[in-house]
Amino acid sequence: MMAEEYCCASADEGAESGPHVPFVLERREKEEENWRIAVSHQLKKQCTCSSERAKAQVLDFFPILKWLPRYQLKDWILGDVMSGLIVGILLVPQSIAYSLLAGQDPIYGLYTSFFSSIIYTLLGTSRHISVGIFGVLCLLVGQVVDRELALAGYITESSRNNTTLGLGMGNSTGGPVCDRSCYAIMVGTTVTFTAGVYQVLMGLLQVGFVSVYLSDSLLSGFATGASLTILTSQVKYLLGLELPRAQGWGSLVKTWVSLFQNLGQTNLCDLVTSMVCLAVLVPTKELNDRFKAKLKAPIPFELFVVIAATLASHFGHFEEEYGSKVAGAIPTGFLPPQLPSWSLIPNVAVDAFSIAIVGFAITVSLSEMFAKKHGYVVDPNQEMYAIGFCNILPSFFRCFTTSAALTKTLVKESTGCQTQLSGLVTALVLLLVLLVISPLFYSLQRCVLAVIILVNLRGALLKFTDVPRMWRVNRLDATIWLVTMATSALINTELGLLVGVMVSAFCVLGRTQRTQALELGRAGHRELYEDLASYKGLQSQPGVAIFRYEAPIYYANQSLFKKALYRCLGLDPVKEKARRRKLEKHRRKQEEVAMTTGGEGGTKGKEKELTTTKVFLPNQVNFHSVVIDCSPVLFLDTAGVNALKEVYKDYKENGVQVFLAQCNTSVLESLNRGGYYPDKGMGEKERVFFTISDAVLYAQSLSSQNGDCDTSC
């Protein structure tokens, strides 16, 4: 491969001597490796098996094997045990509550938190995040569960304890196959299994980088919109109403309409209990937040409320006397493993993909946030594996989808967590509940669980107070937040995520479409060139116009680039060329008229021609050369290279030279491959310079050799 030469003018030589001497940089030759050799080398590298490689693979897949042998028992054990206990205590009421949101019985929420805590401890790379139930994912799973229940014949929540035929189960005997609870967890585990498979496949394909495309404003808007939907879905439990969950687009509006239509059926016992629990939990949560710096651990008011409400409901006979809905029987121990329903996978495949993306994005964003705060590194692809197996393996034990959760992670960090050993302590607390304590929650009212969910939504709902600040800081980010939030809440939760991604992409694209075109001037005698419209005291260079376009030049904005350049310089070479053609045509017509008239009439015709020609003379411009500062141009595609070639050609036909300055290596390679440099000798190659000053000096020296302004328009 021949070395390419890119020329730049030497500022010192141009300033001190007469003729300008260009300085040449010769690029290093790069040997192109044969693709067969490259593929063979990669295959050999990946397929080579040795004891060291096997050990490294095992250590990478099970990060616990790296940090556990180096565990500092005296320094870390107390913090890990304390944080594990506190998070475990908080998880008990939350696991029961969020299982209601996912459309499952309470026991399955406890299973989910238990298994995910153990698996993430073994596979995760973050030291601080708490993986388990997460409100947004529970909502997404619950929507799929309710849809499939309706399709299978389980229409209302009143059939929860009824044995009903699942229409899609394929029962050949004609008898009942699975009751509502059984079918609901079958759908939930199938969604969870499919989402976990997606996440593991993405880990195998090393696509952990996709998390960077989900901005903070997008995720925050999505979470807030989903929180509004969650809040709406729990109001019926606060009022003690038995209403089916609204399906399809606009479910939030449909739910509120249904609530207002059925207000007359409110259960007063549930309403009073809800108001009392809210009156206790809201201020106590605020106290926990206000004094969290002074408290060694947050006070578990949720657990206290659950215990008190369960005792009141049991001894007050709320279910029998007032018809209050309670959690019901929560069995102890574990159920035998069960395979997902393979026939349901096609029905839930699309929903599972959006759930997989949301779960991974939340987990990676929280992992990286706390890793940066505490000075260590997490592996996004390993996090993909970890959260994937936190879904695949527990799905065989009747669990639903999990991810990291911000609230519990903050509690975990603030209570002294040092490693994921705290996750094992949390699992032990949940194991104790599963084996011994869970039946004691039989009389717990569902409205209390709904209150716990609502109180835990405070953080997401308080994001509305940040909207004015977000708007002042960055209007595009605020717009992404508002559009994503509104779509997630008012139209459809999954659609909100897709719309948010599309709006983010269009905002990025729009920034390249609305790029500023700047004419630059020099600051004193320094080699500093900035926008003439933004700074005072800048000097234009005699005979040279300097232009900067602050965006990549590619197919979507190449025409805008040319328009911006022509508008900024005040000379459109295309229009000028058309004007000259029109003038030439007019001149030839007048010559023909003059030749036919002859004599005195011919003299008068010539005088008239000169007068008319003066009217059509082009506007005089004060530059003979244009320098384009390419430092903000990150890349060029084929359309971008062609646009630069057209600019060069059109301006040259009007007597104006075009030079490029400060191009990065990628741009230079694109120019070379795109044929920007014609093979017409050294003079034609001297268009690209390494600094603006070099280009300006070269243009001025070239003009002085050609008679200064003879080449101007």
* Residue 190, pLDDT above cutoff 90: yes
Percent of the chain at pLDDT exceeding 90: 10
Nearest partner of 106 among 592, 384, 444, 403, judged by Cα: 444
Report yes or no: 191 and 197 within 8 Å, Cβ to Cβ. Answer: no
Distances, alpha carbon 363 to alpha carbons 77, 113, 274, 384, in Å: 25, 15, 32, 9
Tens digits of per-residue pLDDT, 278-318? Answer: 999 888 888 877 877 777 667 778 888 888 988 998 888 88
pLDDT at 706: 61
pLDDT at 176: 40
* Residue 685, pLDDT above cutoff 90: no
* Residue 131, pLDDT above cutoff 80: yes
Of 148-152, 262-266, 326-330, 645-649, minimum mean pLDDT range:
326-330
Tens digits of per-residue pLDDT, 17-36? Answer: 455 555 556 666 666 666 67
Angle at 429 between CA 424 and CA 431, to 5 degrees: 90
pLDDT at 122: 92
- pLDDT class of 377 with cuts at 50, 70, 90: confident
For the beta carbon of residue 498, count every other beta carbon within 10 angstroms.
14
CA distance 579 to 588: 14
Distances, alpha carbon 130 to alpha carbons 133, 402, 531, in Å: 9, 10, 50
Rounded average pLDDT over 74-84: 85
Distances, alpha carbon 111 to alpha carbons 86, 92, 104, 424, in Å: 18, 11, 11, 14
Rounded average pLDDT over 550-558: 84
Residue 441 DSSP label: G
pLDDT at 158: 43
- pLDDT class of 11 with cuts at 50, 70, 90: very low
Rounded average pLDDT over 525-534: 80
- pLDDT class of 443 with cuts at 50, 70, 90: confident
pLDDT top residue among 154 and 528 = 528
Percent of the chain at pLDDT exceeding 70: 83
Q: Give me the domains of the chain, ranges plus CATH numbers.
A: 64-510 (no CATH), 517-576+620-705 (3.30.750.24)
Task: State the amino acid at position 651 in one-letter form.
Answer: Y
Rounded average pLDDT over 423-439: 90
pLDDT at 163: 39
pLDDT at 396: 93
* Residue 587, pLDDT above cutoff 90: no
pLDDT at 228: 87
Average pLDDT of the chain? Answer: 79
Helix or strand or coil: residue 396?
Answer: coil
pLDDT at 600: 52
- pLDDT class of 168 with cuts at 50, 70, 90: very low
pLDDT at 590: 79
Task: State the amino acid at position 476 in one-letter form.
Answer: L
- pLDDT class of 46 with cuts at 50, 70, 90: low
Whole-model pTM over 0.75 = no
Distances, alpha carbon 67 to alpha carbons 71, 121, 127, 418, in Å: 6, 11, 10, 11
For the beta carbon of residue 209, count every other beta carbon within 10 angstroms.
9
* Residue 200, pLDDT above cutoff 80: yes
Helix or strand or coil: residue 267?
Answer: coil
Q: What phi and psi values does residue 469 have, to the nearest 5 degrees?
A: -65, -40
pLDDT top residue among 109 and 167 = 109
pLDDT at 615: 39
- pLDDT class of 705 with cuts at 50, 70, 90: low
Rounded average pLDDT over 138-162: 74
Task: State the amino acid at position 471 in one-letter form.
Answer: W
pLDDT at 431: 92
Q: Rank 110-119, 158-167, 295-304, 521-530 by mean pLDDT and report only the highest.
A: 110-119
Rounded average pLDDT over 496-523: 79
- pLDDT class of 612 with cuts at 50, 70, 90: very low
Rounded average pLDDT over 42-70: 79
pLDDT at 180: 82
Q: How far apart are the first and last CA of the chain?
A: 41
Of 45-49, 430-434, 626-630, 672-676, minimum mean pLDDT range:
45-49
What is the token pair recorded at 593? 């008229």
